Amino acid sequence: MTTNKMWGGRFRQGPASIMEEINTSIDFDKRLAAEDIAGSLAHADMLAAKGIIAKADAAKIRKGLTAIKREMEKGTFPFRREYEDIHLNVEARLSELIGKASGRLHTARSRNDQVATDFRLWVRSACERADAGLLALQQALVKQAAKHTDTIMPGFTHMQPAQPVTFGHHCLAYVEMAERDRARFADARARMNESPLGAAALAGTPYKIDRKMTAKALGFDAPMRNSLDAVASRDFALEYLAAASIAATHLSRFAEEIVLWTSPAYGFVRLSDSFSTGSSIMPQKRNPDAAELVRAKVGRILGAFTGLLVVVKGLALAYAKDLQEDKEPVFAAADALDLALAAIAGIAGDITVNKQAMRAAAEKGYPTATDLADWVVTKLNRPFREAHHIAGAAVARAEALGIGLEALPLEELKKIESGITKDIYKVLSLDASVHARTSLGGTAPVRVAEQVAFWKARLS
């Protein structure tokens, strides 16, 4: 067994096989290949510009890295586990391609600042992908809302019928959630957009490097101001995972409603064959599997967040090999979120609404009881608590007679409150209830139409 020629000068023999197995990360960190090459190109250009390496060597390095990038794009790059990680794999291949000049690339940097830079670049892109996925979901929901500004459905609290709302209003609730999710990813991206490159192992470097130059080349706003923080911190990844966990929770809530709404017990919406599956034994089944899987993804994403928190919670500064465990959970969470976003946006655009089923469900459970109470407050000048009691008594009587509030005879209502007149029936229909709720943020079709127009303009 030989030592690793990339770092083995201090060692006389190679690691035990189990040590090699636990230490190797190339199987997963090869996903950082594009970021690693980008960082190396920026670093080489800076070294040459500052006269730390010869321009001729920098040109050879750039040519070699460009060749490696092409190999990776074609899938012909020879990833080798004996070189542990993506950084040493690239450096070893560069040595094969350009010879001795490759050894100058690692001047004034360490794998510690190198991986921190690569990982920030990757997570930054993940934030951008999440934003794009959330935008697609918002656009699909706004289209549904535009078609259903006056489609009445039951609004629920405690999963019990509460008050009638419009389906457009319901869709726009998720648009609002997605907008906050986008803001969280944007905030996370802004905070992480500082460059660790040049922090070296932990203490900086004696070479007269230009960290602002490399930061600018990689699209960072500025270099990180503390070399210990630069190599040791993973809060940028945690913040991404936190935002991803919240976003996935929102997706899961919508997915749960799709599962409920597509069931025969509800029948509110139907998914096309594109987003439904069948059963191997029951030929009548139409299963909303995509929604169910979206609902489950939050477990994977939240688990990644919790797992990485546990990894970093007890680490003294600066770098420790524990941080090798940061990438797999982030990669897995990002994959899950990207897939869930694509699926739920597709579902949101695919659903066909059964207006009749929604309306029929909205008629159950005496959903205009609050409207009756509001009428008593407005027309009879009663305190709301008294009006609430009167409306409750009316519901009890209607329930005893097996009819809806709108069908309760006036004489029955007068037994409860003598001041009630036939005008009460103007507020007891579903349409009257919905149209009455014109307060800012309310479910009235006129307000929903305004919000649709707002979101169309904002999302364009």
Known catalytic residues are 158, 279
**Alpha-carbon gap, residue 376 to 244, rounded angstroms:** 47
Q: Copy the structure tokens of residue 121.
A: 């670049």
Nearest to 37 by CA among 55, 63, 57, 56: 63
Rounded (10°) angle between helices 445-459 and 167-192 = 30
Nearest to 132 by CA among 64, 178, 99: 178
| Residue located via tokens 């991803």 | 244
Determine the residue type at 288. P
Nearest to 247 by CA among 158, 354, 165, 135: 135
SS3 227: helix
SS3 404: coil
Q: In the 8-state DSSP scheme, what is residue 316?
A: P
Determine the residue type at 150. D
Q: In the 8-state DSSP scheme, what is residue 270?
A: E
Q: Copy the structure tokens of residue 320.
A: 């420790």
Residue 99: how many other CB atoms lie within 10 Å:
11
What angle is formed at CA 114 by the lines to CA 113 and CA 115, rounded to 5 degrees?
95
Contact 235, 271 (CB under 8 A): no
**Alpha-carbon gap, residue 427 to 435, rounded angstroms:** 10
- As separate numbers, helices (DSSP H) first and strands (DSSP E) second, the chain gives 18, 6
- Stretch (H or E) spanning 329: helix 327-350
| Integer angstrom CA distances of residue 402 from 110, 366, 406 | 78, 11, 12
Rounded (10°) angle between helices 235-261 and 327-350 = 30
